[in-house]
Homo-oligomer: A and B are copies of this chain.
Amino acid sequence: MSADKKKKSVKIICENLRRIRVISVPIFRPYRRDAAKEAPMKSDIPQLMHERGLDALVVYGNTDTSSDLAYLAAGAHLERAMVLHVRGQEPVLFASVLERENAEATGLATRLWSDYPLSRYLQETDGDLAAARIAQWRDIFADYGVQGRVGFYGLMDMGFAYRFLTDLAAALPEIEVVGENPPNLFNAARETKDAREIEIMRAVGQATTAVIANVFDFLSGHRAQGDALIQADGSPLTIGDVKAFIRMELAKRNLEEPHPTIFSQGRDAGVPHNAGRPDMPLRLGQTIIFDIFPRDRATGYFHDITRTFFLGHAPDALVEKWLDVKRVFDEVMAAIRVGEPGGKFQQMTCDLFEVMNYPTICVDPQTTVGYIHSLGHGVGLDIHEGPRLSTIGPQTILRPGHVVSVEPGLYFPDDGWGVRIEDTIAFDENGEIINLSDFPYEMVIPVRA
């Protein structure tokens, strides 16, 4: 066997072993929780209702945008649906007749909106649609014995939500409309992932890093001409070309980009959410922030990972900046652990950057340069969810089952650069870190001379 073939076959064995290892994790194992570390999750919804004094809850919306509804609908796509959960009863899913089989596939008890036909209520209300909707919900609530404190969740036009719930409260004196400030019941439940969710998220991480690996290979397969990267025909390779490649790599893996991938270069990388200008040619020796956070279409879960790299070579002055961020990243990754509030690690990040003489938002909340965002956020059915690694707002203690991004960065657009390094990590049942972003921290991608 040639050395090359050997290498290849070892690689295959390793891949198979890796696959076997993943498969051997029993994916339906209920999450074993230590009372001392306990944090609420999906199965705790009745308890979370009890703590809030809720007699019922309603989650309304479209599963493709309302992630709380997607959380309950377990992967089904429903355009206009409602979960009604009365304390002590099984939740009921209301769906359109057009989506009745998607609804049934959730395993929840289902009802059809047409069981309460709007056309009938419109007759009752002389064609007043708003009044007809209230009458429809009045009958549904009556049939399911909804009374007392009712919490409402799911995305809706904010003005309509205010109007509808105000009118509903007026029409149904037996209920009290409860609207929660964040973090609400679903924020609390969703921020803890069970073992099944973590396995899903591990797989989404693997698919995402496979995309990154192919993007890196794609780039290093190109040739430099002067300080530009060029294609086979001699034309410059642009950010738009790279993004088109990324799109195909994502589509192959059934990943989607509900929010656009960031591939930003030089000064543009100096503003964290600049996504990169499609017509910009790639240049050697500049910081390129590649922040990719796709959603798995099959399960709805996101992954979030960032690498900053240089094509061809890295100028000494920027190598230092890159290493500064990497040092902070490493220190925070070594320190972060369960039992501490998320804000503690944001403060640590600020302190480390300040020692290096960079401006930070901890000292100046209005700075536009230096370290200007929070350290990280929960990742799940939303790209940004709880717990937040931020000093601002209510502090969540990190717990087993939490999945968060860790993403220190530095931004100086006027000096032509930005650096961010990010992994998404999960805390397992023992509080150990599982890094879901298994990809090396490359600084320079070599390109062909």
> Using a CB–CB distance below 8 Å, which chain A residues touch chain B?
60-61, 64-65, 68, 77, 79, 96-102, 112, 114-115, 117-120, 122, 129-130, 151-166, 177-182, 184, 244, 247-248, 250-252, 254, 256-260, 268, 271-275, 297, 365-366, 368, 372-373, 384, 391-394
Contact = CB atoms under 8 A, between A and B. Distances in A.
A244 B259 CA distance: 21
Please provide the 8 A-B residue pairs with the shortest distance between their CB atoms, ordered closest to farther. A163-B179, A159-B179, A162-B179, A251-B251, A158-B161, A117-B365, A161-B161, A152-B159
Contacts of A162: 152, 161-162, 165-166, 177, 179
A247 B251 contact: yes
Contacts of A152: 158-159, 162
Contacts of A96: 273
A96 B118 CA distance: 41
Given A114-B366, A260-B77, A273-B99, A161 B156 contact: yes
A49 to B, nearest CB: 13
A64 B98 contact: no
Contact of A98 (B155, B184, B254, B271): B271
B254 A256 contact: no
B180 A159 contact: yes
A98 B181 CA distance: 24
Given A65-B155, A77-B259, A114-B365, 15 more contacts: A60-B158, A64-B259, A79-B384, A98-B272, A99-B271, A114-B366, A129-B393, A151-B159, A152-B162, A153-B157, A156-B158, A159-B179, A160-B180, A160-B181, A163-B181
A273 B159 contact: no
Q: Which of A160, A368, A372 has the most CB of B within 10 A?
A: A160
A35 B239 CA distance: 46
A28 to B, nearest CB: 20
A256 B256 contact: yes
A165 B152 CA distance: 14
The residue among A96, A164, A268, A273 with the most chain B CB atoms within 10 A of its own CB is: A273
A291 B102 CA distance: 16
A393 B251 contact: no
A161 to B, nearest CB: 4
